[in-house]
């Protein structure tokens, strides 16, 4: 109950941050426009290859990757909390850091599911990715799963980045690029060597994306459910890792005095 | 003239010291190899080994644009945030050469991405991309650096002049990758979009660079390089006008330190 209360307060910060950055107009013409251009860009790579099925494959992959692109901004937005000088107070407070940071970047969850949905359900049909209402609803639910799963992973990275804040954008972008490469967004996971495939299994979006692709192909609700459950199971592991890393951050900070009010 | 050159060199020296200590500014160089792996994976998986050149050039051009957009675009604003812009303007040196010197360093450093992409292709995929027209390749690269520097000076001023434009900074990447034909040549884009692409210097640069890596003869190479250089001159001129507008407005409104 306490965790929920703390998270809710932190979510209020996230909403205010988002409102201070974007208006509806700048979000729609700026951010959404950028994501649509990103998805079209990858789809056009499929056109360059000269195969319509590649176009559709890349469109679906890029649409789901829009979630990863945005959710990985959690690495940066988590450091905003430390920059604001609140970390010592948070460490001193009688609660874990996890609910604070789990609420602090939820704006990306909502926004990313919206941009990804526009890409899949509005841009998709222009390139031959068609939907029935029931498949689209199921796919939208899977997108939420992808976002939540990636968010758990991003929280673990954010816990690491809080110690080296100058790397916040680099870590987020590198994680996005690596995920794009191996999770099945651009080529099937089987294309890669076995050790890379093992890494891909540890990414929640790998399973979520497979579920979306199953729904693109037909009414494979059971397969989508199974893959979504797998994505959530992997996400739970990441959340546990994030919790451990936040505890480590706080305990190490208490021990060596590296939790400070100043910017670093 | 000599004075301007000395100022530009001072700016370049400063940037050479700052850039290696700013890991966030070098992000494009870290992600470019991974992006190359992404594009090469796509082309190799599809059996289109003939498109390796595209997959190597694309990420490098993306890194070039991205570094100019993110690093050069924030140059003036960073000076203001750091409280040094006021002192900078008070010095007898002219700000444009100083800014130009810094921008040229950033854009030149971003060229490392071309080497990175080439090496990734060779080491990860055992694909050695030949350069059958090395002279043209180098000339096209130099013209591209100058054009990028010219247009980066516009970005640096625009993001200060129009605060709302800053919100769109993150959004100016992929639309320009499409319009600049960094992967898909603009000749393969829809007819209605092509006239717009021709207003983006990157579309001329990417076509030229791809042609220089193609074993067949390159047509109209000199005029095309001239055109990219023309974009550089236009960019620099507009950049100068905008920078003067920034200085005039800041002096008039008393916002040199921070708006």
pLDDT digits (tens, 9 = 90+) for B92-139: 888 888 989 999 999 999 999 999 999 999 999 999 999 999 999 999
Instruction: Name the DSSP class of B199.
Output: T
Is A44 an interface residue toward B (CB < 8 Å)?
Answer: yes
User: Nearest-CA distance from A44 to chain B in Å?
Assistant: 7
Tell me the three state secondary structure of residue B169.
Answer: helix
Residue A24 makes CB contacts below 8 A (sequence gap 6+) with: none
Place of tokens 């030149």: B108
**Whole-angstrom Cα distance, residue B173 to residue A48?**
20
Tens digit of each residue's pLDDT (9 = 90 or more) over B142-180: 999 999 999 999 988 888 777 666 677 778 899 999 999
How far apart are alpha carbons A70 and A85 in whole angstroms?
25
- pLDDT for A92 equals 87
Asked if A38 lies within 8 A of B174 by C-beta distance, the reply is yes
Write the DSSP string, B98-123: HHHHHHHHHHHHHTHHHHHHHHHHHH
What is the pLDDT at residue B164?
A: 64
Residues of A in contact with B174 (CB under 8 A): 34, 37-38, 40-41
- Alpha carbon B99 to chain centroid distance? 15
Find tokens 């001129």 and name the residue. B237
Helices (H) and strands (E) in chain B, counts: 13, 0
Residues near A187 by beta carbon (within 8 Å), at least 6 away in sequence: B41, B42, B45
Distances (CA, A) of B94 to A230, B99, B192, B234, B244: 61, 9, 42, 20, 10
Question: Shortest CA distance to A105 belongs to which of A177, A42, A36, A21?
Answer: A21
Is A186 in a helix, a strand, or coil? coil
Chain B residues with CB under 8 Å of A180 CB are 34, 38
Q: Nearest-CA residue of chain B relative to A20?
A: B167
Sign of CA dihedral B183, B187, B193, B198: positive
**Chain B residues lying within 8 Å of A193, measured CB to CB:** none
Tokens coding B146: 């100058």
Separation between Cα atoms, residue A159 and residue A167, nearest integer Å = 12
Closest to B201 in 3D by CA, of B234, B175, B174, B172: B234
Which band of pLDDT confidence, cut at 50, 70 and 90, is reported for residue B196? Answer: very high
pLDDT tens digits, one per residue of B41-55: 999 999 999 999 999
For residues B202 and B180, the answer to whether their CB atoms sit within 8 Å is yes
Question: Would you call A240 an interface residue with chain B, using a CB distance cutoff of 8 Å?
Answer: no
The whole-number pLDDT of residue A78 equals 93
Q: What is the CA radius of gyration of chain B?
A: 19
Q: Is A137 on the interface with B (CB under 8 A)?
A: no
**Of the candidates A30, A173, A118, A65, which has an alpha carbon nearest to the alpha carbon of residue B175?**
A30
Computed from CA positions of residues B235, B239, B242, B244, in that sequence, does the dihedral angle turn out positive or negative? negative
At a CB cut-off of 8 Å and minimum separation 6, what does B157 contact?
B76, B239, B242, B243, B245, B246
How many angstroms away from the CA of B4 is the closest CA of chain A?
Answer: 34
Query: Which of B29, B33, B34, B200 is the best residue to mutate to test the A interface, defined by the most A CB atoms within 10 Å of its own CB?
Result: B34
Is the C-alpha dihedral spanning A32, B176, A178, B78 positive or negative?
negative
> Quick one: what percent of chain B has pLDDT higher than 90?
66
Q: What is the pLDDT along chain A (264 residues), one digit of tens a residue?
A: 788 899 999 999 999 999 988 899 889 988 999 999 999 999 999 999 988 899 999 999 999 999 999 999 999 999 988 888 888 888 888 888 999 999 999 999 999 999 999 999 999 999 999 999 999 999 999 999 999 999 999 999 999 999 888 888 899 999 999 999 999 999 999 999 999 999 999 999 999 999 999 999 999 999 999 999 999 999 999 999 999 999 999 998 888 887 775 444
More confidently predicted of B23 and B199 = B199
Calculate the dihedral angle through the C-alpha atoms of B28, A47, B118, B9, rounding to the nearest 10 degrees: -40
Instruction: Give pLDDT, residue A264.
Output: 45
Nearest CA-CA partner of A89 in A259, A262, A264: A259
Q: A201 to each of A14, A103, A152, A179, B164, how far by Cα in Å?
A: 30, 26, 15, 11, 41
> Dihedral of CA A136/A140/A142/A146: which sign?
positive
Copy the structure tokens of residue B122. Answer: 């060779």
CA distance B37 to B59: 9
How far is it, in rounded angstroms, from Cα A148 to Cα A139? 14
Angstroms from A124 CA to nearest CA on chain B: 17
Please calculate the CA angle B151-B153-B157 and round it to the nearest 5 degrees: 120
Q: What is the pLDDT of residue A58?
A: 97
Backbone angles phi, psi at B213, to 5 degrees: -100, 5
pLDDT confidence band for B259 (50 / 70 / 90):
very low
The pLDDT of residue A262:
47
Establish how many alpha carbons lie within 13 A of residue A33's alpha carbon, considering only the half-sphere containing its beta carbon.
17
Radius of gyration over alpha carbons of chain A, in Å?
Answer: 19
Are residues A115 and A35 in contact, defined by beta-carbon separation less than 8 angstroms?
A: yes
Lowest mean pLDDT among A4-8, A215-219, B16-20, B247-251: B247-251
How far is the first Cα of chain B from the last one, in angstroms, to the nearest whole number? Answer: 32
Angstrom distance (rounded) from CA A40 to CA A126: 10
DSSP calls for B67-83: HHHHTGGGHHHHHHHTT
């Amino acid at each position: 109950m306490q965790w929920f209360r703390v998270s809710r307060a932190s979510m209020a910060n996230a909403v205010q941050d988002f409102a201070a950055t974007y208006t509806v107009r700048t979000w729609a013409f700026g951010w959404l426009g950028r994501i649509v251009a990103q998805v079209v860009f990858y789809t056009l790579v499929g056109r360059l290859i000269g195969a319509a099925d590649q176009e559709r494959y890349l469109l679906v992959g890029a649409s789901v990757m829009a979630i990863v692109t945005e959710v990985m901004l959690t690495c940066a937005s988590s450091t905003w909390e430390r920059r604001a000088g609140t970390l010592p107070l948070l460490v001193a407070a009688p609660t874990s850091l996890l609910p604070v940071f789990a609420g602090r970047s939820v704006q990306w969850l909502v926004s990313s599911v919206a941009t990804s949905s526009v890409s899949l359900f509005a841009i998709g049909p222009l390139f031959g990715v068609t939907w029935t209402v029931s498949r689209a609803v199921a796919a939208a639910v899977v997108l939420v799963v992808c976002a939540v799963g990636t968010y758990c992973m991003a929280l673990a990275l954010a816990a690491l980045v809080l110690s080296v804040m100058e790397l916040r954008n680099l870590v987020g972008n590198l994680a996005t690029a690596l995920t794009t490469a191996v999770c099945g967004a651009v080529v099937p996971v089987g294309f890669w060597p076995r050790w890379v495939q093992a890494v891909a299994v540890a990414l929640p979006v790998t399973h979520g994306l497979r579920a979306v692709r199953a729904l693109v192909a037909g009414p494979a609700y059971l397969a989508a459910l199974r893959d979504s459950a797998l994505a959530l199971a992997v996400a739970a592991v990441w959340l546990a890792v994030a919790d451990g890393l936040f505890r480590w951050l706080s305990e190490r900070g208490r021990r060596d005095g590296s939790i400070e009010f100043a910017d670093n | 003239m000599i004075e301007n050159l000395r100022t530009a060199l001072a700016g370049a020296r400063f940037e050479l010291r700052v850039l290696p200590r700013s890991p966030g500014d070098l992000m494009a160089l870290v992600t470019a190899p991974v992006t190359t792996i992404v594009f090469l994976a796509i082309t190799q998986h599809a059996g289109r080994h003939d498109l390796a050149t595209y997959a190597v050039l694309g990420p490098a051009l993306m890194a070039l644009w991205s570094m100019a957009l993110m690093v050069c675009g924030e140059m003036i604003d960073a000076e203001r945030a750091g409280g040094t812009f006021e002192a900078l303007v008070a010095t007898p040196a002219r700000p444009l050469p100083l800014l130009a010197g810094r921008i040229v360093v950033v854009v030149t450093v971003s060229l490392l991405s071309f080497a990175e992409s080439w090496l990734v292709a060779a080491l990860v995929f055992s694909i050695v991309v030949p350069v059958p027209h090395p002279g043209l390749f180098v000339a096209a690269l130099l013209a591209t650096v100058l054009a990028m520097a010219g247009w980066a000076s516009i970005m640096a001023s625009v993001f200060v002049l129009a605060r709302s434009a800053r919100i769109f900074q993150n959004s100016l990447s992929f639309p320009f990758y499409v319009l600049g034909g960094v992967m898909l040549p603009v000749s393969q884009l829809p007819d209605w979009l092509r006239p717009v692409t021709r207003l983006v210097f990157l579309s001329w640069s990417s076509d030229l660079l791809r042609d220089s890596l193609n074993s067949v003869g390159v047509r109209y190479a000199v005029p095309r390089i001239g055109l990219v250089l023309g974009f550089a001159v236009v960019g620099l001129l507009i950049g100068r006008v905008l920078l003067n507008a920034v200085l005039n407005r800041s002096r008039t409104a008393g916002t040199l330190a921070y708006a």
